[in-house]
């Protein structure tokens, strides 16, 4: 397994088994970590074969023979992938907002259709010997690479990790490990062509949230401004009262 990670570590927030907020980090694997993980993969793969679990090649043959994904679906899948590339490529040069939003609607519809086609075989492919072995390798890396803020190992050993599989921290660790080893950011979806265009149009913000102001009517904006001014005025009065109280306290103290 080749792993090329650009960052030395990945820090994230989660909660421990007692519900307490904590910070954890994943450190960059060294060659020994990678070799150990590969050994676990091979061991799990061999065990799966002994248990008569089908391989990826056998699963693909099963899909073909039972026409779970027929030739029409395969052709349609390729067509959708090509169409998505063309639409995303042309979207960034579009300045007309209405045309752009229509293109994004088409992109979303095509993406949903592609996901439905892929889901026809996903369950089968997730039950192959390779899939089980890859999952075990990922779990092993999550176990050995996770550290506390004090650089202590978060898990005592793999048995400790296995007992913690349903805990929020472990779920967050695995999710962050996938992003870490694939050099992805938390909001990597924002790098998609359609989201880049939406940000250029100021329809969504850099954190991925919708720019609500864009969809407010004139009356809504007027009301919002009134509320904001009222809030500022209220906070100013509170601040002035605090300053006055502090002055009185100081005068009393030094009389």
| Domain count across the chain | 2
131 vs 142: CA distance, rounded Å? 17
Residue 235 and residue 189 share a domain: no
Residue 224 and residue 98 share a domain: no
Measured at the CA of 182, the angle between CA 108 and CA 142, to 5 degrees, comes to 120
Residue 243 and residue 135 share a domain: no
Residue 191 and residue 69 share a domain: yes
* Segments forming the whole domain that contains residue 238: 217-253
At residue 109, what are phi and psi to the nearest 5 degrees? -65, -45
Q: Which of 178, 162, 181, 136 is nearest to 42 (CA)?
A: 136
119 vs 240: CA distance, rounded Å? 61
Residue 140 domain flag = yes
Residue 126 domain flag = yes
For residue 224, the model assigns a pLDDT of 44
Residue 79 domain flag = yes
Residue 1 domain flag = no
Residue 231 and residue 124 share a domain: no
For residue 6, the model assigns a pLDDT of 75
Residue 3 domain flag = no
Are 124 and 62 spatial neighbours (Cβ–Cβ below 8 Å)? yes
For residue 196, the model assigns a pLDDT of 83
Query: Which two three-digit tokens encode residue 56?
Result: 């990826």
Encode 120-138: b = buried (16+ Cβ within 10 Å), e = exposed.
ebeebeeebbbbbbbebbb
Residue 224 and residue 194 share a domain: no
Residue 244 and residue 160 share a domain: no
Quick: pLDDT tens for 95-135: 888 999 999 999 999 999 999 999 989 999 999 999 999 99
Residue 74 domain flag = yes
Residue 2 domain flag = no
Residue 236 and residue 208 share a domain: no
Are 55 and 107 spatial neighbours (Cβ–Cβ below 8 Å)? no
Residue 122 and residue 76 share a domain: yes
Residue 4 domain flag = no
54 vs 60: CA distance, rounded Å? 10
Residue 233 and residue 141 share a domain: no
Quick: pLDDT tens for 145-159: 999 999 999 999 999
Are 187 and 207 spatial neighbours (Cβ–Cβ below 8 Å)? yes
Residue 164 and residue 244 share a domain: no
pLDDT tens, position by position, for the chain (255 residues)? 666 777 889 999 999 988 999 999 999 999 999 999 999 999 999 999 999 999 999 999 999 899 888 889 989 999 999 999 999 889 888 888 899 999 999 999 999 999 999 998 999 999 999 999 999 999 999 999 999 999 999 999 999 999 999 999 999 999 999 999 988 888 778 778 888 888 888 888 776 677 666 554 445 445 545 444 455 455 555 555 555 555 554 444 444
Residue 221 and residue 203 share a domain: no
């Amino acid at each position: 397994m080749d792993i090329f990670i650009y960052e030395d570590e990945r820090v994230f927030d989660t909660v421990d088994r007692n519900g307490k907020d904590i910070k954890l980090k994943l450190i960059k694997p060294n060659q020994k970590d990678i070799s150990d993980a590969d050994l676990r993969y091979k061991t799990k793969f061999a065990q799966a074969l002994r248990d008569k679990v089908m391989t990826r090649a056998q699963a693909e043959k099963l899909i073909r023979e039972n026409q779970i994904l027929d030739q029409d679906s395969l052709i349609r899948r390729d067509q959708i992938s090509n169409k998505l590339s063309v639409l995303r490529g042309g979207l960034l040069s579009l300045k007309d907002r209405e045309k752009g939003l229509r293109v994004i609607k088409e992109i979303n519809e095509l993406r949903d259709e592609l996901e439905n086609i892929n889901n026809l075989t996903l369950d089968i492919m997730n039950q192959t010997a390779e899939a089980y072995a890859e999952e075990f390798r990922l779990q092993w890396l999550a176990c050995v690479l996770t550290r506390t803020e004090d650089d202590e190992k978060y898990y005592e050993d793999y048995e400790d990790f296995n007992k913690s599989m349903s805990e929020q921290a472990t779920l967050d660790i695995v999710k962050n490990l996938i992003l870490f080893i694939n050099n992805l950011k938390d909001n990597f979806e924002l790098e998609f062509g359609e989201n880049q265009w939406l940000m250029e149009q100021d329809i969504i913000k850099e954190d991925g949230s919708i720019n609500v102001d864009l969809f407010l009517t004139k009356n809504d904006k007027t009301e919002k401004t009134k509320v904001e001014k009222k809030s500022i005025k209220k906070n100013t009065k509170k601040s002035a009262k605090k300053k006055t109280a502090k002055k009185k306290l100081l005068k009393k103290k030094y009389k």
